[in-house]
Structure 1
């Protein structure tokens, strides 16, 4: 399409300036009009699709009726045709064969689909690792806001064309964060919980204080008392034998990490924990454990009117903690400094081990090493995240895998998968298989020695 630029007054309407008003331009043939080329108006969806190609992954959520709900790039309205195409792919397979479309792969691009009535979720990624798990976690994040029962009933009550974004308003940051965790958070990639490093006496004192304060107040309906700090679990107490799944804990961690209001004042919010009860809500009291603290106390109750009672309990917990001048300073210092496991704890030869991840399979808890040279910058950290993701993909896809030793140009990988634990180590490229195995044994012994600091070995009940 071509266009032109005209001087002021050219083609003017009656009453506006005309060429006769301009000196030297009274005669039409004296007017010089510069011809320029204007670009074709690009369709919005086409330009949006081109931008998507630059992302390493993209996630889409839509209703089974094709209505856009969420896209990780935040451009739902500009990608309506793409949402419709995803819906057609999934629904055609369902209607033709009664089966579910799970994945489509090309050489450099992988699409995975998940149908959880009434939602369709799709991830398109340049990497193939754990795509199904990422969609599962995102669906759980949605259910934490709208219970499964509400989700299934909303379209029956309000029709197929209902825009679910009305009920999910303000929750995009939580969905964005849970997806970002797959690129940065090794505990999420390993489907486990990081325990905040804290000496056993201090952790026991904290847990006992929470449990006894709740017991003394005898509130109706309190099920869990949890302390989180820096996206890690510090302490947890529970009512009788109730348990909480690590995936539900990740939902709570995600909520706390993305809610700045909590550091200013306590909040009271309903939240659905899908692995505890995906059809109902618990009510969460969340507050800083003490003023200015990076540790947060969560009290979960089935009583929607328990805010004042739980606020009183929190004040009692804080008062008792501060009253212990022997143990409280240690808790306060640990929360502010966050000391991770040092590889030097394993003794001689530790320089050859650069990084590790240890997962206790029964407790679903992980311990990560502190960063040390040569792993110091963001690129090297991302290299670790990608490596761990690939290794977990191998362990899940190849059943019975017990040991992996892999020499690469920049490092050596050692994986030991036992019934009770998984151990992944990144070592110097000069480390032999025998030395790698010896270092792995030393690490396991060191972890056992420091178990009370880096793992929660028992959970108090009230």
Structure 2
């Protein structure tokens, strides 16, 4: 849950004057506007006070449209301007971070999908067909915290960069037991059932023919984490999952069954609240009777595993993505990366390595990078992606041995680190 300091800081960002020094100091800005130049959202400051900027953006885009072209990116000194044109909406990232054009455009796509989760593409198109200069803020009022939370999360959570989600490390037998209890929900109108703790997935049940895209899961996590109101009571909220169907709404029953663990039941039927609320009561009763609820809460409160558990000499930190399961795992940040500044520096190196590995011009299978403070390894195969940090003086042979030790440990712990087979209704 966000503390008071975080909330106050977020409020301060929204009252910043776009002409102020503080506003200009931010290393990355996001702007969303309509094709008519109407401001819709800005990460910092009040969007009603940036009409001058949105007017310039609209003019630039229109210049290229008139020339039967489409603008994608402008590099100006240390700044990168990345454009994403989605019908009646223009989304722009202005950044002086080390993020690439592709990485920034992926983030703009997430912001666009966040808007679709509230409106659907059908509604969005209809609104602007009827009135090209419509002020979309009238319909998005109250959703700014979700856009803000998403904009912040994309800067320091690996899942967005990797296009994957993280699972709670949990004993396989406990995870299977939880999944069996969720099977109690026998509604033909239930699409998905899941438990989430601290932006990590505990378990997921789905229909046999309907998987759930990681991008949609990120929107679900963002919805739950972006507002503290879900923690106070049972909630029933419409949500569009763009990768599932960007033209219609599903309906999500959201309830925290412990302090950290959230139950989500998603149905296409808007009249299923009371049925799913009754199902929640049964689920909680069953989880309590077999002591699984207490075990879930204990696991959710733990900080995860440490790099010492791996036992790989010289290894400081890593991110491992299972490409088959579209899930990643990573240890807690230990010294020197328990310092926020050092943690941010490490993530910048991971981003740089990821961009080099996934370059459209010359993609790499292995990337080896030595900085004054650490050695970074990037390694991609058909089954995994690995980004690992070692000390700056480690030899290549020692690095190779440690990497293989890590892979053996992940293989041994695979059933606890990942959901290998999603249970189906």
**Same topology, TM > 0.5:** yes
Distance 2:332 2:299 in 1: 15
Give yes or no for the alignment of 1:66 onto 2:37. yes
Q: Residue 204 of structure 1 corresponds to which residue in structure 2? A: 176
Q: Residue 135 of structure 1 corresponds to which residue in structure 2? A: 108
- Report how far residue 166 of structure 1 moved: 0.6
Please point out which of 86, 89, 105 is paired with 1:119: 89
Distance 2:182 2:298 in 1: 19
Distance 1:77 1:224 in 2: 38
- Report how far residue 329 of structure 1 moved: 3.6
Q: Residue 152 of structure 2 corresponds to which residue in structure 1? A: 180
Q: Residue 351 of structure 2 corresponds to which residue in structure 1? A: 389
Q: Residue 369 of structure 1 corresponds to which residue in structure 2? A: 331
Task: Note closer, same or farther for the CA distance 1:50–1:94 as it changes in structure 2 (3 Å cut).
Answer: farther
Q: Residue 80 of structure 1 corresponds to which residue in structure 2? A: 51
Task: Note closer, same or farther for the CA distance 1:451–1:46 as it changes in structure 2 (3 Å cut).
Answer: closer
Task: Note closer, same or farther for the CA distance 1:47–1:196 as it changes in structure 2 (3 Å cut).
Answer: closer
Q: Residue 11 of structure 1 corresponds to which residue in structure 2? A: none
SS of 1:300's equivalent in the other structure is: strand
Q: Residue 5 of structure 2 corresponds to which residue in structure 1? A: none
With 299-308 and 171-180 compared, the bigger mean Cα shift is at: 171-180
Q: Residue 295 of structure 2 corresponds to which residue in structure 1? A: 330
Distance 2:393 2:26 in 1: 35
| Contact preservation (8 Å) 1:173, 1:258 | yes
* Length, aligned pairs only: 407
SS of 2:338's equivalent in the other structure is: coil
Q: Residue 166 of structure 1 corresponds to which residue in structure 2? A: 138
1:14-163 equivalences in 2 (<5 Å) = 48=19, 51-96=22-67, 98-127=68-97, 128-129=99-100, 130-157=103-130, 159-163=131-135
Q: Residue 345 of structure 1 corresponds to which residue in structure 2? A: 309
- Report how far residue 223 of structure 1 moved: 0.3
| Contact preservation (8 Å) 2:17, 2:46 | no
Q: Residue 434 of structure 1 corresponds to which residue in structure 2? A: 397
- Report how far residue 50 of structure 1 moved: 5.0
Give yes or no for the alignment of 1:232 onto 2:197. no
- Report how far residue 230 of structure 1 moved: 0.5
Give yes or no for the alignment of 1:456 onto 2:419. yes
- Report how far residue 387 of structure 1 moved: 1.5
Distance 1:386 1:110 in 2: 16
| Contact preservation (8 Å) 1:52, 1:58 | no
Deviating beyond 3 angstroms after TM superposition, the runs of 4 or more aligned structure 1 residues are 49-52
Task: Note closer, same or farther for the CA distance 1:405–1:95 as it changes in structure 2 (3 Å cut).
Answer: same
- Report how far residue 46 of structure 1 moved: 9.3
Task: Note closer, same or farther for the CA distance 1:234–1:46 as it changes in structure 2 (3 Å cut).
Answer: closer
1:218-229 equivalences in 2 (<5 Å) = 219-229=187-197
Q: Residue 406 of structure 1 corresponds to which residue in structure 2? A: 369
| Contact preservation (8 Å) 2:319, 2:388 | yes
Q: Residue 3 of structure 1 corresponds to which residue in structure 2? A: none
SS of 2:118's equivalent in the other structure is: coil
For residues 198-245 of structure 1, the C-alpha deviation after alignment (integer angstroms, 9 at most, x for no partner) is: 11111111111101x112xxx241100011100111100012221110
Distance 1:420 1:46 in 2: 48
Q: Residue 3 of structure 2 corresponds to which residue in structure 1? A: none
For residues 84-143 of structure 1, the C-alpha deviation after alignment (integer angstroms, 9 at most, x for no partner) is: 1101111110121x2210010022111000100010011100024211111111101111
| Contact preservation (8 Å) 1:285, 1:310 | yes
| Contact preservation (8 Å) 2:114, 2:147 | yes
- Report how far residue 51 of structure 1 moved: 4.5
Distance 2:228 2:48 in 1: 29
Give yes or no for the alignment of 1:304 onto 2:270. yes
Task: Note closer, same or farther for the CA distance 1:329–1:160 as it changes in structure 2 (3 Å cut).
Answer: closer
Distance 2:222 2:17 in 1: 34
User: Structure 2 regions of 5+ residues with no counterpart?
Assistant: 1-15
Please point out which of 196, 216, 220 is paired with 1:252: 220
Task: Note closer, same or farther for the CA distance 1:273–1:393 as it changes in structure 2 (3 Å cut).
Answer: same
Distance 1:431 1:346 in 2: 17
- Report how far residue 346 of structure 1 moved: 3.2
| Contact preservation (8 Å) 1:48, 1:79 | no
| Contact preservation (8 Å) 2:357, 2:366 | no
- RMSD across aligned C-alpha pairs, in angstroms? 1.7
| Contact preservation (8 Å) 2:18, 2:45 | no
